[in-house]
């Protein structure tokens, strides 16, 4: 108490603890989405969808087939935009760096993004979205090096499929996926740990696409996935341990692998749909696909390969788990980190 005023002296207020979101904003301001960035992302997304008509750029001297958009004026804004685009459209392809463009780029791998700038291009990251390309980078101008953002037309990838192409070829085409980043997987070690051979087309699918989801819906379970539930090895081991301790009642009338003819999971969705192989018979290439939704007795059987299932899901409006009913173009969102 203050002897002169007779009032209690103010107590020292405890220091407020910094919240995680406040710390994120302080340490990484480049990750914060600005109003102008939201508007730019909305414009990119609108132009990237099919049905928006022919793309024509208003910049002087630019060819038709693309639209340049107002780009962030500072490096921090450009980095934040790249991060946001990767969050929406997956891992980008690097088409140009330090003024050197990829000489192998084609219409299927992002070449339409290079044409407007020619030798002035400094760097360019590319994202595929159906039959269109999204680009973000820098180019030389009279005022120095400036950021550039554009959406460009590609070609209908499915129309280019050769007769006799595989279901996997169809999946690659319909998503416009860049297969140059294919991975090598030690399948002998993976199959030894799981305890069975796996379908050959699934293994090729994993090598080309790796960890991620088709149409932001069907996540493929792969060895070494970032999250344990999507790692086919760890998830199979966990489900096996669960079934041993608790039984397989949740999957009636089936049992879980490693029971003979049991269910082995290879995919899932955020909506709790589960995608399995029914491991009946010695040839994994002939295993049917079984899918269950998050409701009792909702099993759907598909007598075909994994890649046929995925392709039909992306393209057939009558498929029971079709995304073609909701999207005109299709994509694969990679969950793998950039190298």
Q: What is the average per-residue pLDDT within 31-37?
A: 63
Question: CA 239, CA 77: separation in Å to the nearest integer?
Answer: 44
Q: What is the CA radius of gyration of the chain?
A: 25
Q: What are phi and psi of 190, to 5 degrees?
A: -60, -50
Give the pLDDT confidence of 74-127 residue by residue, as tens digits.
Answer: 878 889 999 999 888 877 889 999 999 988 887 777 889 999 999 999 999 998
Q: Other CB atoms closer than 10 Å to residue 95's CB: what's the count? A: 21
Q: Other CB atoms closer than 10 Å to residue 253's CB: what's the count? A: 7
Structure tokens, 92: 């980008």
Q: What is the average per-residue pLDDT within 241-262?
A: 92
Q: Other CB atoms closer than 10 Å to residue 167's CB: what's the count? A: 18
Give the pLDDT confidence of 123-182 residue by residue, as tens digits.
Answer: 999 988 767 899 999 999 988 999 999 999 876 556 666 778 899 999 998 888 888 889
Most confidently predicted of 83-87, 225-229, 283-287, 319-323: 283-287
**Cβ contact 274:265 at 8 Å:** yes
Give the pLDDT confidence of 180-210 residue by residue, as tens digits.
Answer: 889 999 999 999 999 999 999 999 999 999 9
Cβ neighbourhood burial of 70 (10 Å; 0-12, 13-18, 19+)? exposed
Give the pLDDT confidence of 37-70 residue by residue, as tens digits.
Answer: 889 999 998 898 766 678 888 888 888 889 999 8
């Amino acid at each position: 108490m203050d002897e002169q005023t007779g009032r209690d002296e103010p107590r020292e207020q405890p220091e407020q603890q910094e919240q995680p979101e406040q710390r994120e904003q302080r340490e990484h301001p480049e990750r914060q989405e600005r109003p102008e960035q939201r508007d730019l992302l909305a414009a990119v997304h609108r132009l990237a969808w099919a049905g928006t008509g022919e793309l024509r750029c208003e910049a002087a001297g630019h060819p038709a087939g693309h639209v340049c958009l107002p780009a962030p004026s500072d490096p921090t804004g450009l980095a934040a935009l790249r991060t946001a685009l990767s969050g929406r459209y997956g891992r980008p392809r690097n088409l140009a760096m330090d003024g050197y463009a990829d000489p192998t780029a084609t219409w299927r791998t992002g070449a339409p993004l290079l044409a407007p700038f020619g030798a002035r291009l400094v760097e360019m990251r590319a994202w595929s979205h159906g039959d269109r390309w999204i680009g973000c980078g820098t180019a030389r101008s009279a005022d120095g090096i400036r950021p550039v953002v554009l959406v460009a037309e590609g070609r209908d990838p499915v129309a280019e499929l050769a007769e006799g192409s595989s279901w996997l070829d169809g999946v690659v085409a319909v998503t416009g996926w860049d297969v140059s980043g294919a991975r090598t997987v030690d399948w002998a070690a993976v199959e030894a740990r799981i305890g069975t051979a796996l379908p050959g087309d699934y293994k090729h699918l994993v090598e080309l696409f790796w960890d991620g989801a088709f149409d932001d819906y069907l996540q493929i379970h792969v060895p070494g996935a970032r999250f344990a539930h999507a790692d086919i090895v760890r998830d199979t081991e966990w489900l096996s341990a669960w079934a041993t301790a608790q039984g397989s009642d949740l999957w009636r009338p089936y049992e879980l692998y490693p029971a003979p003819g049991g269910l082995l999971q290879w995919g899932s969705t955020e909506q709790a749909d589960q995608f399995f192989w029914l491991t009946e018979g010695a040839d994994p290439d002939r295993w049917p696909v079984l899918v269950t939704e998050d409701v009792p007795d909702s099993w759907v059987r598909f007598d075909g390969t994994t890649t046929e299932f995925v392709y039909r899901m992306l393209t057939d409006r009558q498929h029971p788990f079709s995304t073609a009913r909701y999207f005109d173009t299709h994509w694969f969102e990679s969950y793998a980190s950039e190298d």
